[in-house]
Structure 1
Amino acid sequence: MQHKTLPLMIAVALGVMSVGAQASGYRFGSQSVAAQGTADANGAEANDATTIFANPAGLSRLDGMQMSVGATVVVPHSTFTDTGSTRFTGQPTGGTATDDYVPTAVMAPSFYLSKKLNDQWSVGLGSFVPYGTKISYGNTWTGRYALTDVKLQALTLNPSASFKLNEQHAFGFGIDAEFMKAELGQAVDVPGSIVALSTGAGAAQGAALAKQIATLGGNPALLRTAGDAHGSNDGKDWGWGFNLGYMFTLDQNTRFGLAYRSSIAHKLRGSTVWDFSKVTTDPVVNGVLSAASHKVNSAALVELRTPETLSANVFHQFDSKLAGMADITFVRHNRLGDLDIQFPGTTEGAEVIRQQWKNTIRVSLGGNYAYNEKLTLRAGVAYDESPVKNAELTHPALPDSTRIQYSFGANWKVANNASIDLAYSYLNFKDANINYTNKCNPLMTTCTGNGETTRGTYQTHLSLIGLAYNYKF
C-alpha cells in the first residue's frame, strides 16, 4: 500500500498569499484601528503613526514623537454543509458534520512609533499581524482527508523612514521582516486504501499484507475495521521585503498617496509526524500498515513568494467637520499557480496543490465627521475580491470568497496629547462552494495525496472589534 497524503503546510502555502488588511485570502483583522473605522480607505489621511503600514511617506506629516498601540478582535462565524464528499475510491468519506470549527474570537495586536528628526526626515517602527488563521474541523468530519486543523501565525516588523522634499512631495520607504509559523493536521485514508487493495489489480498486494500480519502474530481480520491514521506538520521561516510610499499634497485640504509593498520569499522548513497507533487495536497490524504506507517522519519544505500590492488613495477635507477618502488596492495574486510541497531526504513525491489564484482589486470609500473638538466619527465600506477562481480550486484551508465590509469608528481625545480609537466592522462573505479533488491517489508512487474530493458550501461572516491608544510625546 503506497499510501501518502497531503503533507506539510498546504494551508501555509495558501495562506501567505494574502497580504495585510488590503487583501483577501487569509486577511487577519486590521493593522490600524483608525483605518478600520473607514474600511481602510484612509491611506492618504496620515493622521497618526499607523501610516507606517498604509503609506510610510505619511510620516512626514507627523510632529514630534507619536505612538499607537492597538488590538483587533476577530469574531468569526462559519458553517459548512457537505454535499457529497468522497474517497478516491468513489465511496462517501463518511464521518460527521463539523461544527464550531472556527474559534470564538482571536486577537491581533499592533504597535507603531514615529519620530520627526527635522523638517525633512522622519523615522518610525511598526509591528503588526499581516495575516493568520485558526481552523479546527476535528478528526472525524467529512473532509478530514483534506484537512483536520490548521493554525497560521505571522508577525511583521517594519522599520520605516520618510523624506519631505518640499510642501508638496514626500517619499517613504521601509523594510519588512516577516516571521511565519504554521501547524497543520489531516487524516490518512487507511480504510479507503484497504478497500482498494481488496479487489482487482490491488488484490495481490492486499493478500500479501494480510499474510505478513498473520506471520508476525497479528490479526488480519482487523483490516476490515481499520480507521484513519493522522499526520501532523509544522514549519516556520523569516522572510524579507520592502515597502515604498509617495504622498502628493495638492493644498491644505487635498492629498494623494501611492504605496507599494513587495513580495516576500519564504522557505518554510518544518517536520512531519505520522501516527498509525490508533488505526486498529492491534500494534502489529498498525505497524505493518505504517510500513506499507512508506510514510516516515521527515523534514518538509515549501518555497513560495507572497504577492506584491499597489495602492492608490486620496483624502479631501470638505469643510471643518467633514472629510472624505478612498482607496484602491491591486494585489498580484497570480504569482500563485500550482504549489510543490517537497520532502527532503525521502523518496516521497511532491504534493501538487492546484491553486492558480487570480489577481484581485479592493475598493474602499470612507469618511470622517468631527462631531466636536473631542469626538470624531468614522465610517466606510469596502468591496474585496477573492483570489480563488472557482469551486474546483477551493480548498478547506481557505474557503474564501468575495466579501463586502461595513465599518464604523470613532476617535475620542481624552487629553491634549492622547486619544482612543474604536472601530467595528462587519464582513459579509458570498457563499463559497467547494468541489476540490486531489489528483494524486494513495496507490500512486510518484506523488503524494489522499485523492479525496471535498464537496460542500461554506457560509461565513465575521466581526472585527478594534481598540487603540494614541499618544503624542
Structure 2
Amino acid sequence: MQHKYLPLIVAAALSAMSVSAQASGYRFGSQSVAGQGTADANGAEANDASTIFYNPAGLSRLEGTQISAGATVVVPHSTYNDTGSTHFTGAPTGGTAAKDYAPDAVTAPSLYISKKLDDKWAVGLGLFVPYGAKLDYGNTWNGRYALSNIKLEAITLNPSVSWKLNQHHAFGFGIDAEFMKAELGQAVDVPGSIAALSSGAGAAQGAVLIKQIAALGGNPALLRTAGDAHGSNDGKDWGWGFNLGYLFTLDDNTRFGLAYRSSVSHQLKGSTVWDFSQVTTDPIVNKVLQAASHKANSAALVSLRTPETLSANVFHQFDSKWAGMADVTFSRHNRMGDLDIQFPGTGEGNEVIRQQWKNTVRVSLGGNYAYSENLTLRAGVAYDESPVKSAELTHPALPDSDRMQYSFGANWKLSPRSSIDLGYSFLDFKDAKLNYTNNCNPLQTTCTGNGETTRGVYQTHLSLIGIAYNYKF
C-alpha cells in the first residue's frame, strides 16, 4: 500500500489565480493604484514612476526624481458547492462543506522610484507583487485529498533604465529579480486505501498489513475507523528575467507603447513533512500505516517557468479635460503543460499534475477626466481570459475563470510636488466548474497521488481597494 501526496511545490505552479489575485493565470494584476483606476489600460500614459512595470521606456517622460508608494487591498468573496467529489475507489469523500476558505483581505504593496539623469537617460527601481494566493479549506472539506491549504507569496525587484533617442522614440530595459515562497497542505487518503485493500485484488496485501499490526501489539480493528493522514510542505527560490519597452510619441497628445516581460525560470526547492499521528488512536497502527505508505520526510522539487507577456497600448489626450487609453496584453500561458513534481532522495514516484494551459488575451479601455486643477478622475473596464481549458483541467488551488473588471479612481494633488491616488475595482468571475481527477492512486508505486476526483462549482467576485502616495523632488 502506498499513500501519496500532492506536494507544496505544485502550489507555486498552480497558484495562478486563487481568490486573492486579479489577473488570469499567474499575474496578481494590480501593480499600481493609478493603473488600477483605468483597469490597467494606462501602459502608454507614463504619468508616474509605476511606468517601470507597465513600460520602462516611459521613464523618459518623468522629470526629476519621483516616488510612488502604494498598497492594494484585495477583498474576496467566493463560495464552493460540491457536486460529488470521490475517493479513488469511487466512494464519496464526505467531509464538510467548504466555508470561509478565502481570507477576509490580502494586501499587496508596491514601490517605484524614478530619476532623470539628463535629456537622454533615466533610471528607476520597482518593487511589486507579481503573484499571490491564499486559501485555507481546512482538513475536513470535500476536496481535502486535492488540497487543504495553500499560500503563495512572490515579490519582484525591477531596476530599469530608459534611453530617449529623440522626441519621438524612447526605449526601456529592466532586470527582474523574483523571489517566490510557497506553503501547501493536503490530506492523505488512508481510509480509501484501506477500503481498497479490504476485498478483491488488494485483499492479500491487506491481510499482510493486519498481521504486521498484530505482531507489533497493535489493534487491527482500528483500521475500520482510520481517518486521514496529512502532509505539509514549503518551498522557495529566486529567479531572474527581464523586461523591455518602446514608446513612440506621435505628438503632444498621442503616444503608442509596446512592452515585453520575459518568463522567469524557478527551481522551487522545499521540504515535505508527514503526520500520521491522528489516523487512529493506536500509535502502533499509525506507525505501520505510515511505513506501508513509504512516506518519509524528504525534499521536494519542481522546475517551472512563468509566462511571458507582450502588451500594446495607446494614449490620447482629446482636450484639456478628457484623455483615453487602451491596452491589449498577450500572455503565453501554454508554457504550463503537465507539471512533474519530484522527491529527490526517495523512492517515491513523481506527481504529474495535468494543466495544459492555453494562451490568453486581456483587453482594457480607460479614461481620465480633469475635474479641476487638483482632481483627476479615472475609470476603466477590462476583459481577461483564463488559461484553464476545461473543468477536467481545473484544480482546487486554481479555481480560475474568465472575468470582467470594472474600475474607477482619482488623483488628488496635495501640492505641486505631492499627490494621492485612489482606486477601486470590482471583478466578476464566471462560474468555475471543477471535475479534476488525479490519474495516480495511492496503491500505485510508480507515481504519487491520491487518485481523487474533485467535482464542484466556484462562484467568485473580488473587490480591490488601492491607495498610493506620490512625491516629486
Q: TM-score range by the shorter chain?
A: over 0.9
1:294 corresponds to: 294
Kindly report which structure 2 residues correspond to 1:426-441, keeping only aligned pairs within 5 A, or say none: 426-441=426-441
Supply the distance in 2 between the matched residues of 1:331 and 1:243 (Cα, whole angstroms): 14
Read off the aligned partner of 1:201 and give its amino acid letter. Answer: A
Kindly report which structure 2 residues correspond to 1:94-109, keeping only aligned pairs within 5 A, or say none: 94-109=94-109
1:229 aligns with 2:229: yes
**How far 1:27 sits from its partner (Å)?**
3.4
Supply the distance in 2 between the matched residues of 1:172 and 1:29 (Cα, whole angstroms): 21
**How far 1:10 sits from its partner (Å)?**
1.8
**How far 1:23 sits from its partner (Å)?**
4.1
1:411 corresponds to: 411
Read off the aligned partner of 1:222 and give its amino acid letter. Answer: L
Kindly report which structure 2 residues correspond to 1:155-174, keeping only aligned pairs within 5 A, or say none: 155-174=155-174
Residues 21 and 40 in structure 1, CA contact (< 8 A), matched pair in contact too: no
Q: Unmatched 5+ residue regions in structure 1?
A: none
Kindly report which structure 2 residues correspond to 1:12-411, keeping only aligned pairs within 5 A, or say none: 12-15=12-15, 23-28=23-28, 30-411=30-411
Q: Could you give the per-residue CA deviations for residues 428-461 of structure 1, whole angstroms, max 9, x where no partner exists?
A: 0000000000000110011000000000000000
Read off the aligned partner of 2:400 and give its amino acid letter. Answer: D
**How far 1:15 sits from its partner (Å)?**
2.6
Residues 237 and 267 in structure 1, CA contact (< 8 A), matched pair in contact too: yes
Read off the aligned partner of 1:174 and give its amino acid letter. Answer: G
SS of alignment partner, residue 93 of structure 2: coil
Supply the distance in 2 between the matched residues of 1:5 and 1:414 (Cα, whole angstroms): 55
Read off the aligned partner of 1:52 and give its amino acid letter. Answer: I
**How far 1:22 sits from its partner (Å)?**
8.5
SS of alignment partner, residue 250 of structure 2: strand
TM-score (normalizing by structure 2)? 0.99
Read off the aligned partner of 2:357 and give its amino acid letter. Answer: W
Q: Unmatched 5+ residue regions in structure 2?
A: none
1:448 aligns with 2:448: yes
Supply the distance in 1 between the matched residues of 2:125 and 2:241 (Cα, whole angstroms): 15
Q: 1:352 to 1:445 in 2, by over 3 A?
A: same
Supply the distance in 1 between the matched residues of 2:331 and 2:29 (Cα, whole angstroms): 17
Q: Could you give the per-residue CA deviations for residues 90-120 of structure 1, whole angstroms, max 9, x where no partner exists?
A: 0000100011100000000000000000000
Residues 442 and 451 in structure 1, CA contact (< 8 A), matched pair in contact too: yes
Residues 433 and 456 in structure 1, CA contact (< 8 A), matched pair in contact too: yes
Runs of 4+ in 1 over 6 A off after TM superposition: none
Q: What is the total number of aligned residue pairs between the two structures?
A: 472
Q: Could you give the per-residue CA deviations for residues 345-378 of structure 1, whole angstroms, max 9, x where no partner exists?
A: 0111100000000000000000000000000000
TM-score (normalizing by structure 1)? 0.99
Supply the distance in 2 between the matched residues of 1:256 and 1:15 (Cα, whole angstroms): 33
**How far 1:26 sits from its partner (Å)?**
4.0
**How far 1:258 sits from its partner (Å)?**
0.2
Residues 29 and 72 in structure 1, CA contact (< 8 A), matched pair in contact too: no
SS of alignment partner, residue 89 of structure 1: coil
Read off the aligned partner of 1:351 and give its amino acid letter. Answer: E
SS of alignment partner, residue 415 of structure 1: coil
Read off the aligned partner of 1:373 and give its amino acid letter. Answer: E
Read off the aligned partner of 2:262 and give its amino acid letter. Answer: S
**How far 1:162 sits from its partner (Å)?**
0.1
Read off the aligned partner of 2:338 and give its amino acid letter. Answer: D
Supply the distance in 2 between the matched residues of 1:456 and 1:76 (Cα, whole angstroms): 19
Read off the aligned partner of 1:162 and give its amino acid letter. Answer: S
SS of alignment partner, residue 39 of structure 2: coil
Supply the distance in 1 between the matched residues of 2:164 and 2:15 (Cα, whole angstroms): 36
**How far 1:6 sits from its partner (Å)?**
1.5
Supply the distance in 2 between the matched residues of 1:395 and 1:234 (Cα, whole angstroms): 19
Q: Could you give the per-residue CA deviations for residues 367-423 of structure 1, whole angstroms, max 9, x where no partner exists?
A: 000000000000000000000000000000000000000000000000110000000
Residues 83 and 457 in structure 1, CA contact (< 8 A), matched pair in contact too: yes
Q: 1:247 to 1:22 in 2, by over 3 A?
A: farther
Q: Could you give the per-residue CA deviations for residues 7-34 of structure 1, whole angstroms, max 9, x where no partner exists?
A: 232221123699x999412433511000
Residues 22 and 329 in structure 1, CA contact (< 8 A), matched pair in contact too: no
Supply the distance in 2 between the matched residues of 1:303 and 1:27 (Cα, whole angstroms): 18
Residues 178 and 240 in structure 1, CA contact (< 8 A), matched pair in contact too: yes
1:465 corresponds to: 465
Read off the aligned partner of 1:44 and give its amino acid letter. Answer: A
Supply the distance in 2 between the matched residues of 1:199 and 1:189 (Cα, whole angstroms): 17
1:4 corresponds to: 4
Read off the aligned partner of 2:128 and give its amino acid letter. Answer: F
Q: Percent identity?
A: 82
**How far 1:201 sits from its partner (Å)?**
1.1
SS of alignment partner, residue 11 of structure 1: helix
Q: Could you give the per-residue CA deviations for residues 271-327 of structure 1, whole angstroms, max 9, x where no partner exists?
A: 000100000000000000000000110000000111110000000000000000000
Supply the distance in 1 between the matched residues of 2:395 and 2:156 (Cα, whole angstroms): 26
Supply the distance in 2 between the matched residues of 1:253 and 1:13 (Cα, whole angstroms): 42
Read off the aligned partner of 1:411 and give its amino acid letter. Answer: N
Supply the distance in 2 between the matched residues of 1:341 and 1:198 (Cα, whole angstroms): 30
Q: 1:230 to 1:179 in 2, by over 3 A?
A: same
SS of alignment partner, residue 251 of structure 1: coil
Q: Could you give the per-residue CA deviations for residues 151-191 of structure 1, whole angstroms, max 9, x where no partner exists?
A: 00000000000000000000000000000000000000000
